[in-house]
Amino acid sequence: MAPFPLETTLAIGLGANLSSLHGPPESTLRWILPCLIDLLVEWGDADARDVRCSSFLKTQPLGGPPGQDEYCNAVLLIPRVQRPMSEVAALELLEHMQRLEQSCGRDRQREQRWGPRTLDLDILFWGDLRMEHPRLLLPHPRLHLRTFVLEPLLEAMQGSAPPRSPDQPGPEALGRGC
C-alpha cells in the first residue's frame, strides 16, 4: 500500500441515532454514502477509486440529553483531494454536506446541541488546513477526544475498501455493530 498522503486528505465523520426517511441510522448511513462520495469526488476533483471508508461502529452518545439511542458512526477518507485548500472551498463543502443532512430530515434550527439526529456529517480535517470561522473549525476541535471518530478514522486509514450501496456487492465488514 502506498504511503497515506495526509497533506491532501479530506476526512468526513458520519453519524446518526434517529431514523430518517431512509430507515434506521445504519440504513441512513448506507443510503447517504454513495451520495456523499459522489459529492466529494466531484467537489474535490478526486478519484472515486481512492475512497476509503471504515465499517460502521455502534457507540453510546457523548454529552447531550440523557436517554438518547446509540449512534451509528463511520469515517470516510478521500486521500488525494486535488482542489486547492481554502476557507472558501471548505465552507462550500460544508454547505453541500448540510444539504445532504437536510435531505435526511435534519433541522439544525430545531435540534438540541449534541442531541439526537437523523444524520450528522462533520469535516474532521482537510490536509493541514487550519480554520477558525464561526461556522467551521478545522481540524475538528474535539477530534482527539472522541473514540467514536478515532477508531473508524484509523480503520479507514488502514485501507478498507470503498463502501457499496446495498444493491451492489461489497465488503461484508460494513455494518459491524450497527
Is 122 catalytic? The answer is: yes
C-alpha cell at 54: 471504515
Do the Cβ atoms of 104 and 117 come closer than 8 Å? no
Is 35 within 8 Å of 100 (Cβ atoms)? yes
Q: Check if 120 is active-site.
A: yes
Q: Where are the beta strands (DSSP E) in the chain?
A: 10-16, 52-53, 57-59, 71-78, 120-126, 131-133, 136-138
Options 52, 99, 117, 146, the catalytic residue: 117
Catalytic residue (choose from 47, 52, 122, 164):
122
Catalytic residue (choose from 120, 130, 142, 164): 120
Among the options 30, 52, 83, 106, which is catalytic? 106
Q: Catalytic: 99?
A: no
* 50 among known catalytic residues: no
Residues tagged active-site: 106, 117, 120, 122
